[in-house]
Structure 1
Amino acid sequence: MWCTVNKGSPRVPRMASLPECRLAAYVRPFTFVGVDYCGPYFVRIGRNNVKRWVVLFVCQTVRAIHLEVASSLSTDSCILAVRRFIARRGAPMEIYSDQGTNFQGANKELKNELRKINRTLSDTFTNRDTLWRFNPPSTPHMGGSWERLIRSVKIALNTLSTSKNPSEETFQTILIEVEAMVNSRPLTYVPLVTENEEALTPNHFLMLSSSETVQPAKQPVDISKTLRTNWGHVQEALDRMWKRWIREYLPTISRRTKWFKESKPLQTGDLVIIVDEGVRNSWVRGKVLRTYPGKDGRVRVADVQTSGGVLQRAAAKLAVLDIAGSGTAEGSLQQYESGNVGDGPTLY
């Protein structure tokens, strides 16, 4: 029994197919968006150094990013950042984010603002045009599509930042340059068929080129005919980019790189240990009250009853205790905790 409790590991479900937002071709960039924070960074205003956070918006389809500066972790600052993004990129159909507990880890400021942010954002931006979806708590792996780009943004910020505490105007300029740098990264391998053909980048869907400035053409006499021709060229170029996206990029993200095997799903009544970053002996134990299957039918989220209340966690964070012996599994766990078989489990 000691080995079961101290050596149990989560049963990670088989990797699901990619969601529709990652596979939606021929859509406007930033139609499906993931949002996250990184920071804080210190900027100089006069003689004072103040904190600034970076709000990252990621297009789930073409993997482009948009960066905004937030002055605090308050609800109002977050709403203003989202409104600036919508004014420049258009209203998205769906916005994905986690519930904030992994923005700054144990940051007390963020924990205090967490519930207000979730409730206010849902009320403000959930309408007939935009739907806000929150991932379960403590599941950063469910937001890997934007967590990976946060790393790229941090690396670029460390590369471009020349001073420890830049001015606010300098910091905003650096952010825009980081945005352009990350959006010019190749999504696919460099093609070898044509020497003049560039590797596909997010900027191709935003400005029809990777990063070079397109020189304006001279205006001819018949402007109306030229406008029709230019519009046709733009549509043809976008169509060509999307065909390359389907042909070159989709196959690279459709492959499963881990979690190939099927695992026994969580069931109501299972005794589990909630895996976290603390010491294993301090992990909270509980009982599964309710399971939430994904679109593929596999259980990926569950509600767990603990001594401190009901917690919602991903299946990848729950280690099932397959305790066998006299009586039920609940009685066996209580026997392990107290030395006597009782009517129910002793939860922590």
Structure 2
Amino acid sequence: MDTGSCINALRRFFGIRGPAKQLRSDCGTNFIGASRELGFVKDPEKHLSILRYLSGQGCTWDFNPPHVSHMGGAWERMIGMTRRILDSMFLQNRQSHLTHEVLCTFLTEVSAILNARPLVPISSDPEMPFLLSPAMLLTQKTGVSAPPGNFTRNDLFKSQWRQVQAMANEFWTRWRREYLPTLQNRRKWAHPSRNLQIGDIVLLKENQLSRNEWPMGLITSVFPSSDGTIRKIEVKTASQGISKNFIRPITEVILIVPKKDG
């Protein structure tokens, strides 16, 4: 993106999401150029009319120091995983020629997948665990857009809308496989760690899930091994008002909310 493209992207973002309070980015040349052209400079005499508009909305633009991408934190991690998956998908599907409409729709589906990820718990009811997602903050809605049917790789060579859905499903499968390990620390078993307990809220690693589904569960029973370590648990889940219990190994769940002591 050049400076003009960056400015257009900002205007599209403001047009859809409304005025922003803060812009944060690295020191990419397009960002620096756009900030200068928009008037984000210290000299007040160089301020442009668009700057006065953004300043009136209380908007600021903060840059991370050069060569420290780790200061981007969460967004750099999301960008890195997304780029790796998209690069791999486009290399494997070179025979598929994407129109501008198909590409834009596909990237919108990718955005929906990223924004549906769980962040922090907001429900105090252990029977119905409820997590906050970026999409909830952006849309003020709790539901997610379910895919309009089942799609396979064969759909990549059919109508455009089926091509988009097949690619979105492929991205969902790959991204979920990369994102879940970031929620679960893996260490050598040199020191004992906390066992899962009754009352813990966990995220289930289910393979056969529709796009943007994140099944949560409450541990109702634990099954100690001969050495006292918990390796198998019983999890209670709720979906559409129907409760179900499943037996799972601890490797197939991720601890989200530990049980409060006392």
Short-chain TM bin: 0.3 to 0.5
- Structure label with greater radius of gyration: 1
TM-score (norm 2): 0.42
**What TM-score, normalized by structure 1, do the two folds share?**
0.32
> Which one has a larger percent helix, Structure 1 or Structure 2?
2
Greater RCO (CA < 8 Å, at least 6 residues apart): 1
